[in-house]
Amino acid sequence: MTNLVNKNKTHCLHGHPFDTENTRYNARGHRACKTCRNQQRQARYKRTYPRQGPRGHNLKGQNNAHKYGFIGEQHPEWKGDAAQANTKRNRAQRRYPLGPCEDCGKQGIDRHHKDEDTGNNVPENIAILCRRCHMQRDGRLARLGHQIHLDRQPPQPCRICGRNYKPLRKGRCGACDMYWRRAGKEWNTSVLKSKPRQEGPVDRLHKTQ
């Protein structure tokens, strides 16, 4: 009796007609409404991915958000000042195109933050500079010159074994310092000084200079 009643129905419970385009049959031969099934799938998808963009597009993931124009503060995963420093620098790279260096006139390749705050990307705080001028402004060029001056110094003798070495660690060469770290004491200098010291590659290189 129930099958006869359902067979005579021309519309589903929600009022959709059982016509040729809107009707589907399952494995048992029972009819079902295609419109109701599509609405149920859309509702389940929205519950799973609640952040939706225009036309119901899912914004889960950075690529989809940029695809539909959600850039900057409109992005659903925008972190603001809590983002990392590299992320803040990338914001300045996307916002300001490169041009000539403001100091020397060469082609600029860096965006310099004048107040050293990578999150402050206002136009007054950004300067287009070349790499050398950028390093000169933030002090990296001076520190690099000081390091080069230290590297040019000749090696000094170790206070334990007497071998020429650089850089010394509290007067010890690399081998003596490693022994001190592992054993907790320095080498027996009386045994070392009784044996003739062999000339190493650093000594031979120092003689040729």
Taking only the tens place, the pLDDT of each residue in 145-182 is 766 665 567 888 888 888 888 788 888 888 888 888 88
Per the structure, the count of domains in the chain is 3
Q: How confident is the model at residue 15 (pLDDT cuts 50, 70, 90)?
A: confident
Pick the more confident residue, 42 or 78. Answer: 42
Q: Is residue 20 in a domain?
A: yes
* Range 80-94 average pLDDT: 85
DSSP 124: G
Q: Is residue 38 in a domain?
A: yes
Same domain, 108 and 71: no
Q: How confident is the model at residue 125 (pLDDT cuts 50, 70, 90)?
A: very high
Q: Is residue 28 in a domain?
A: yes
Token couple for 39: 């609405």
pLDDT at 200: 59
Q: Which amino acid is at 63?
A: N
Q: What is the span of the domain harbouring residue 56?
A: 1-78
Checking if the pLDDT of 95 tops 60, the result is yes
Checking if the pLDDT of 6 tops 80, the result is no
Q: How confident is the model at residue 108 (pLDDT cuts 50, 70, 90)?
A: very high
pTM of the model: 0.41
Same domain, 73 and 110: no
Give the end of a domain, one of 62, 78, 94. 78
Contact 128, 108 (CB under 8 A): yes
Q: Is residue 108 in a domain?
A: yes
Same domain, 21 and 3: yes
Q: Is residue 122 in a domain?
A: yes
167 φψ region: left (φ > 0), alpha (ψ -120 to 50), beta (else): beta
Pick the more confident residue, 127 or 146. Answer: 127
What spatial distance separates the first Cα and last Cα of the chain, rounded to whole Å? Answer: 109
pLDDT at 178: 87
Q: Give the contacts of 22 (CB within 8 A, at least 6 positions apart).
A: 16, 33, 34, 35
Same domain, 70 and 98: no
Give the end of a domain, one of 143, 167, 189. 143
Q: Give the contacts of 44 (CB within 8 A, at least 6 positions apart).
A: none
Same domain, 40 and 89: no
Q: Tell me how far apart the alpha carbons of residues 115 and 126 are, in angstroms, rounded to a whole number.
A: 9
Q: Is residue 39 in a domain?
A: yes
Q: How confident is the model at residue 189 (pLDDT cuts 50, 70, 90)?
A: low
Give the end of a domain, one of 120, 143, 166. 143
Checking if the pLDDT of 64 tops 60, the result is no
